[in-house]
Amino acid sequence: MNVVRASILLAALVGAPASIAASQYAGAGPAAASPEPATTAGPPSPVEQRWGIRLLGIRLSAAGYMMDFRYYITDPVKAAPLFTRGLQPVLEDESSGAKFIVPAPPKTGPLRSTNTPQAGRTYFMFFANPAKYVKPGRLVTIAIGDFRAEHLRVMAESDPFPEMPRFDARSVTVRHPVPPAASAGDDKPGADLGRARPATVAVPDLTLTDQDGAQVTTGELLEGRTPVIVTFMYTACETKCPTMAATLAQVQRDLGAQAAGASIVSVAIDPARDSPERMREFLAKYDARPGWRFVTGTIQESEQLQRAFDVYRGGLASHPPAYFIRDARSGSWWRIGGLPAPEVVAGELLRLAGQDKEPE
């Protein structure tokens, strides 16, 4: 039942229909399996020989907002390193280099099997797929510490896993979690999901450099007559930043022609490495459209901007994910914390711009 609640909570985080997540994973992990696989197994693969697991595959789930990786244990001693709690699994889309993580909702923890591995059981691992970035048929690599499985083809949500135990989803009771109360500065993923909350921001007067090498002032970027979305990222990030970038790219696509009336500004928090060239490559990886600028400056200027938006936490790994929206009509700032679905960000942008309607 804990896994069911985790699936529902993650569905809320990424905007997937909760009913889909519940019915898809009501009996997941580790799910009991017969001691012998349901199908005849061939010779052990190199992965099975080294790690004691049989790869069952990876497929989309939760309406495409998640990727479900399944594997079957044949040797629990060899497989034990995959269950080390301190290791962060990372999925990489091989065609773009975009990386995705296993989310960790505050009340349930990482959405992966961490119990002691047992032979003859199937285990799971859910990777976030914001904005449905990874499509069926794409090749991905999954890395967990020294473990690495390459060239896994992502299956469609309707494709079955081999050797999977059956369960009766109708017998499962789903309990939707109550969203935790949070302050505007709460850094927990999912704490501020939903409508944007007021934020106090005093933009400092700085001159920065964008991905094309052009000089631009913060006044020109953030105090114009059009709405603006501000995020804080760094190009070498492998966890939250790729998720936020994929979300922003989907926001631009969802808004269509309406995107021309708004701008996106991403501020580099690793100025020592975030050169215009690297920022330009980062945006190209996510097919960023005109109107999205990635800017950098000195370390002091970056920290000054982070402090102005209350996202400075003293280190790259600890920076909180958040989207800031400026209402151009009043000049007020609003904050959406965590990793919301693209439609949440786009919807709030339109609402604050006085265009509270469905994106094209």
Give per-residue pLDDT as tens, 42-90.
577 888 889 989 898 999 988 888 899 999 888 888 898 888 877 889 9
Of the listed ranges 114-128, 153-167, 181-195, 239-253, the least confidently predicted one is 181-195
Q: What is the mean pLDDT of residues 94-117?
A: 80
Q: Please give the CATH architecture assigned to the domain spanning 197-352.
A: 3-Layer(aba) Sandwich (3.40)
- Note whether 139 and 153 are within 8 A (CB): yes
pLDDT at 297 over 90: yes
Give the rounded percent of residues in the chain with a pLDDT score beyond 90: 36
> What's the pLDDT score for residue 84?
81
Residue with more model confidence, 350 or 265: 265
Ranked by mean pLDDT, which of 109-123, 196-210, 238-252, 255-269 comes out on top?
196-210
> What's the pLDDT score for residue 62?
80
Q: What is the DSSP letter of 192?
A: T
- Note whether 305 and 265 are within 8 A (CB): no
> What's the pLDDT score for residue 323?
94
Closest by alpha carbon to 11, among 116, 126, 100? 126
> What is this structure's pTM?
0.53
- Give the whole-angstrom CA distance, residue 136 versus residue 245: 20
Give the pair of three-digit tokens for residue 155.
């299956």
Is the Cα dihedral 281, 284, 290, 296 positive or negative? Answer: negative
pLDDT band at 260 (very low <50, low <70, confident <90, very high): low
> What's the pLDDT score for residue 116?
78
Q: Where are the domains of the chain?
A: 2-171, 197-352
